[in-house]
Structure 1
Amino acid sequence: MVVSTELQKTLHTNSQEPLVSVITPTYNRPDYLQQALQTAVRQTYKNIEIIVSDNCSPENPQALVESFNDPRIRFSRNETNLGMFANTMKAFKMARGKYIATLLDDDMWEENFLEKLIPPLEANPNLVLAFCDHYVIDADGTINDAITEHCSELFKRTNLQEGIYQPFYKIGLVDQAIATAMAAVIRTEAIDWDKIPEEVGGSWDIYLTYLCCCTGMGAYYCPEKLTRYRRHDQTETMMSGRQNYQAKIRKAQADMFCFERFMEDERLKEFKPYFQQQWAKVSTNLGVGLMRSAQTKQARPYFWRSLQRKFSLRAIAALVLSFTPSSFARRF
């Protein structure tokens, strides 16, 4: 086999850098997937493996993936659809790198994302992860400056100083400043990937942050915007809006499971009131989702439980409506 000069140079460079596993679970988004992979292969940090796990998309993206002609890409396709969580965990468990980072199939990275975040991890073995700020882009890839700045403020990254935070429970679980699903690099061996229960579903990212917090290690923050989160109609966040009640139910169930775990953890007792409030809010969301799916009786207990934790006019209104005819209540 003849190895080109360029590839020899790459292999030499790779031998000096730790391997980073880039995790890209995908389903039925070929155009976005192509854009995501382009930003992965163009990383200035070269020693990476890119794991693309296709969840039995109607149109097999294998040809698209192979068109990159990049030996660093590993492609796997499920014979049946495993569900989003199982497909994502499968990809994580395929990782061979010292570090691991998630690039979802509809997001994008700046070319220096890994170059910026790997050195702090290498310099400090007591860090479990490194994370950054990010842009928010529209469906067509255009940066939405207003929403970008709103998200940075909402998740307390605007005034967060560069540096190491240890512990980082508040930053990770209360402020939720760490977007492990698209803007963080994690030390692979620090996490037992078999300890992420399937009940976390679409909230696996915050549960992963929780596991990172529980290591007792630190987190490094880079205030630069090094990734791009895409908002579009098919994201779980957008689907959990008013019209898609099934997505609302799934998201609420996953969030409730996470908050219940957090409330049980003695290491997080100072934040328990916050988690209780969030649990109450999500409990109402779950009840609303059930009520909109014509499961009024099943919804009612969630409103009661929500009010036991936190007074809410929304929960009271929903509870009252749950005693009205289903055809009327589901309009809430």
Structure 2
Amino acid sequence: MPKVSVAMCSYNHEKYVATAIESVLGQSFADFELVIVDDGSSDKTVQEIEKFSDPRIRLFRFSQNKGAGLAAQRCLEELRGEYIAVLNSDDVFLPGKLERQVSFLEAHPEVAAVFSQAEIIGESGEPLKDKSNFYYAIFEQTNRSRQAWLNHFFYKANCLCHPSVMIRKTVQDEVGAYDPRLLQLADLDFWIRLCKKHEIHILPEKLSGFRVRAGEANTSGAKPVARFRAIVEYIQILKHYAELETVEEFLAVFPECPERLRPSSPELIPVALARMILETGHPLHPSHRYFAMSTLYEQLADPAKVERIGQQIGFQYRQLLSLAGQYDLFNILPGWETCLFLDCGAGFSEEQCVRLPANFGLHEFQLSFALPQGLKVQKVRWDPVEGKFCDIHMESMQWLLQDGTYKQINWERLLHNGVTQDNGAWRFECNDPMVFLEVPEQAAALHCQGTWHFWSAAEMDAYYGQLRQKLQQAEASWSQRYDEMRTTMEKKSAVLEGRWNEEREKNALLRQQYEAAIRETEALKNSCSWRITAPLRYWAQKARASWK
């Protein structure tokens, strides 16, 4: 029995499949089998595979296309190795991959699956240099606990390189096969099921080559059909989180869950998860909100359960109906625009503006504002939206220059009328968010990529409720200070008034004494003794004058 089974599903990859097979056969670790299931290719993929005569290759064919999920299931059924490595038929293994990952799993029995960093390559195998490409750095991840990975998958979806994985076959059998109902997110669904029970690890080396094909030809490429399908699949995948078995596990996965929403029993986990999605203001994908509303309706379908939920957390039909009217789940409201205003020396104006349609129902955005030719633009002002409070987290922001090169923008230092959060996101608590940028020479276009979240009615109500609460607290504080100051002034006034009364009483007594002395003096002047001694006073005065 081989130590490693390499699983490959092929479909219409005649241009790449030979390179993929050669990358496996050229591995330094030779104890493997390569099991290939062709999903009814209509080109010459099978002929390319059949050119190889290596006995370690086993080929199985579908007579017609059945879908990637069923092809993967058939492939897994045929695997015999202790470890399973996965390779897409348009990707490649880099030298030493199997040997390095087998050594790691042998030395770390506590790890169920090991991944690696990936070399992003183009159509011809050349390293991808376009830093604005979605895949350029998406797989550059650090190691986390399995609960932290579940949290990351919940908020940010997939970031693990599928053709870099090697997993123990016992774990693969325990977790189960890929879901054949899923195409865009089948691997993400598997990672979530895996991390609900087992730890994983990412090696720092680049051991796989992930090919980015032209024209968004990858299965995960940003085509409308792929994006629509991903939304539907994401709703199904999120159900795994409602099935967390214990409150302790739920809180380990979601330590950020507010205290008021934390479940007190496993029965309340789905309700707590749904309310956390809707009420905490995290910038999430539309699939999250649809999943949350559907979950609440399902949980409140049983009247007996409604009674128990109401007794424990006070959430019943009235709260459900209120939430149902607060979110535009299907983007029913009219479309919006995101605008780039240009300053050519005379300031910003509506006349000099590049406008792009924006679907604010989607969590992610990729924008490319082409600057009009012939204009010498000095500054630009990006208005993400008008009339909405929003949170924006930038992932990439760069200028495309006329020579085809890119100039990165340090968005953390840009001037804007929002508030920078601890996680680097911009929070705009106003109806007219603005971001200001200087325009370099030879700039041709501005490329922006990131995530945005526009506040719901519930979040706006909560925001204004907080403002009202702060205003009430400020009013109460000022009222208390006023009362304290008035009491202090009244006490000081009473003291001053007492002192004034004391001084007034003293003055009245002195006046009485003065008046009494005047009366005594007048009485003395009118007395006989005063008149009899008058000559003596006269001669005494003259004597004193002569002595001088």
Q: Return the TM-score normalized by structure 1.
A: 0.71
Code of the aligned partner of 2:187:
D
Alignment partner, residue 254 of structure 1: 233
Matching residue of 1:318? 331
Q: Aligned runs of 1:138-157 on 2, under 5 Å? A: 138-145=122-129, 147=131, 154-155=138-139, 157=141
Counterpart pick for 2:220 among 229, 234, 237 = 237
Q: What are the superposed Cα offsets for residues 78-113 of structure 1, whole Å, 9 maximum, x if unpaired?
A: 022111211122212221110111100111110111
CA radius of gyration, larger in: 2
Contact 1:263–1:269 (Cα < 8 Å) also in 2:
no
Do the aligned residues in 2 keep the contact of 1:133 with 1:223 (CA within 8 Å)?
A: yes
1:265 maps to amino acid: L
Q: What is residue 409 of structure 2 aligned with on the other side?
A: none
1:215 corresponds to 2:197: yes
The secondary structure found in structure 2 opposite 1:169 is helix
CA distance in structure 1 between the partners assigned to 2:168 and 2:158 by the alignment: 18
Amino acid at match of 1:119: S
Q: Which residue of 2 aligns with 1:80?
A: 64
Mapped contact 2:26–2:95 kept (Cα < 8 A): yes
Q: Return the structure number with greater helix share.
A: 1
Question: What is the distance in 1 between the residues matched to 2:239 and 2:58?
Answer: 36
Structure having the higher strand fraction is: 2
1:20-169 pair list within 5 angstroms? 20-145=4-129, 147=131, 154-155=138-139, 157=141, 160=142, 167-169=145-147
Q: Which amino acid aligns with 1:206?
A: L
Residue 155 of structure 1 deviates from its aligned partner by: 5.0
How far 1:203 sits from its partner (Å)? Answer: 1.3
Q: What are the Cα deviations for residues 106-135 of structure 1, in whole angstroms up to 9, with x where unaligned?
A: 111101111111111112322201111111
**Which ranges of structure 1 fall in alignment gaps of 5 or more residues?**
1-14, 287-304, 323-329
Q: CA RMSD of the aligned region, Å?
A: 3.6
- How far the C-alpha of 1:261 sits from its partner, in A, is 1.6
Residue equivalent to 1:226: 207
What amino acid does structure 1 have at the position aligned with 2:239? E
Separation of aligned partners in 2, 1:113 and 1:262: 33
User: How far is the alpha carbon of 1:143 from its aligned partner?
Assistant: 0.8
- Report the alpha carbon displacement of residue 35 of structure 1 after superposing the two structures with TM: 1.3
Distance 2:329 2:238 in 1: 22
Residue 286 of structure 2: which of 281, 290, 294 is its match? 281
- What's the CA shift for 1:253? 1.5
TM-score of the superposed pair, with normalisation by structure 2? 0.45
Matched residue SS, 1:53: strand
Identical-pair percentage: 20
8 Å contact kept, 1:44–1:112? yes
The CA distance in 1 between the partners of 2:96 and 2:234, in whole Å, is 32
Structure 1 residue identity aligned to 2:165: A
Kept in 1: contact 2:193–2:240 (CA 8 A): no
CA distance in 2, matches of 1:261, 1:183: 24
Q: Partner of 1:182: helix, strand, or coil?
A: helix
Please tell me whether residue 186 in structure 1 is matched to residue 157 in structure 2.
no
Q: Residues 65 and 256 (structure 1 numbering): CA distance in 2 closer, same or farther, change over 3 Å?
A: same
Determine if contact 1:178/1:209 at 8 Å carries over to the other structure. no
Contact 2:117-2:139 at 8 Å conserved across structures: no
- Cα 1:230–1:35 change in 2 (3 A) is same
With over 3 angstroms needed to count, the CA separation of the structure-2 counterparts of 1:24 and 1:268, relative to structure 1, is farther
Q: Whole-Å Cα distance in 2 between the matches of residues 151 and 202 of structure 1?
A: 15
**What letter is aligned with 1:260?**
K
In structure 2, distance between residues paired with 1:285 and 1:234: 29
Between 1 and 2, higher relative CO (CA 8 Å, sep ≥ 6) is seen in 1
Question: How far 1:268 sits from its partner (Å)?
Answer: 4.2
Give ranges in structure 2 of 5+ residues lacking alignment. 258-272, 292-319, 336-356, 360-548
- One-letter code of the match for 1:174? H
Q: Is the 8 A contact 2:184 2:220 kept in 1?
A: no
Residues 110 and 133 of structure 1: CA distance in aligned 2, closer, same or farther (over 3 Å): same
SS at match of 1:250: helix
> Structure 1, residues 28-63: CA drift from partner, whole Å, max 9, x if none?
111111111111111111111111111111135333
Change beyond 3 A, Cα 1:155–1:142 = closer
Distance in 1 (CA, whole Å) between partners of 2:34 and 2:169 is: 15
Counterpart secondary structure, 1:125: coil
Q: Could you tell me how far 1:202 is from its partner in structure 2?
A: 2.9
